[in-house]
Amino acid sequence: MTPSILVCIYGTLQILKQAMAARAAAEARAGAARMAAWRAHSYAADEAGAAAALRLDAARRPVRRAPDELLVRVHASSINPIDLAMIRGYGSRVFNAWRALEGSEGLEFPLTPGRDFVGTVVGAAPDAALAPGARVWGVLPPHRVGAHAEYVLAKSSWVSSAPENLDDLQAGGALYGALTACAALRVAGLAPGGEGGKRVLVLGLGGVGHAAVQLLVRDRHHVVVSCASEQAEAARALGAEPLDRRQEDYADRLQQAAPFDVVIDCAGQGGAGAAKLPCTFGAYVTLTSPLLRKTDANGLLPGTVAAAADLIQQNLAVRDPVRWAFFSPRADDIELLRRRAEREQFSVAVEQVWSWRDAGAAYARAAQGHARGKLLLDFAAP
């Protein structure tokens, strides 16, 4: 090699070395940076005590460790029933085992709740599809550190560009319930975007039910919703037929609306609810299984065996199959929801919004139950 080429190579190496040093210094500064986060340091005795178990801490800002991770500054995040349950210790055995498999440090505490969020990317790999500055919505599995904090770390497959026609509050409360609905429909053989024409009974019109009805109606299924009388107008607006579950003739009207190809339980009836339905149906899918409750009480293996025994019993009690469905953060479902939202085929109902510093009041409302829309924490509030 000529001396000039060697000089060029040496100069290039020096530039790369300086760039790597600068990046390492930036990562070190980020690792030392702090943020505010709502965290529990012990489990609450019940849901009413969940708000008291939370406190606003100065926490270490998360640092990206892998190329597929994104650091997001949170604009808004919702409170889901799983957040309240986890603060009571629900699912701790399974979630701790999951964390251990991933090599997480510190299994249980401090526990930061919050599953879905909207925000701005502030840290990403150089070749990431979502660069710093991108407005995104995302979701976190229950075993991951949650989004009720100023910053959150998420895998890129759990995040996508946020729909332009959903504001931050709607987008921040969308994905956990909607992805749970997608999982239930897939288990029922009604994967979103598939062939329509089925008769479907949806029990409950909470966050998951609201999403499930929209997905089903868009796919041209005939949807009947069992809900409270004050939710009837919302069900009609979504294109479904409401049935007031509090009416004296509810059982008769349900029999008249039957048979149903599928029943989707979004109301917490569980598998045992299949035997109580006064109508005929082809399959019953519930989002309320005893699996985590059994493993909490009995341990991982004995609890799993006990839960499987429950499922067998539930199927023996009815002629048609009872199935369980669980939340799943599928990237293709997130993309489908984004497309439908931008075509005005998917929306999010919001009941109330609190400043993120008033999370205690928001959790107290969540503990009362029967929310008629999402409960949001606004991190953009002063």
How high is the pLDDT of residue 10? Answer: 44
Give whole-number Cα distances, 113 to 60, 77, 83, in Å.
Answer: 16, 10, 5
- Map out the domains of the chain with their CATH numbers: 30-174+348-378 (3.90.180.10), 177-324 (3.40.50.720)
Mean pLDDT on 207-234? 95
How high is the pLDDT of residue 382? Answer: 74
Q: Would residue 122 be called left, alpha or beta, if left means φ above 0 and alpha means ψ between -120 and 50 degrees?
A: alpha
Q: Estimate to the nearest angstrom the gap between the alpha carbon of 377 and the chain centroid.
A: 15
- pLDDT tens-digit series, residues 22-54: 554 554 454 469 999 999 999 998 877 888 899
How high is the pLDDT of residue 34? Answer: 94
How high is the pLDDT of residue 370? Answer: 87
How high is the pLDDT of residue 381? Answer: 82
- pLDDT tens-digit series, residues 310-320: 889 888 888 77
Give whole-number Cα distances, 105 to 145, 163, 310, in Å.
Answer: 11, 34, 34
Tell me: pLDDT of 9 over 50.
no
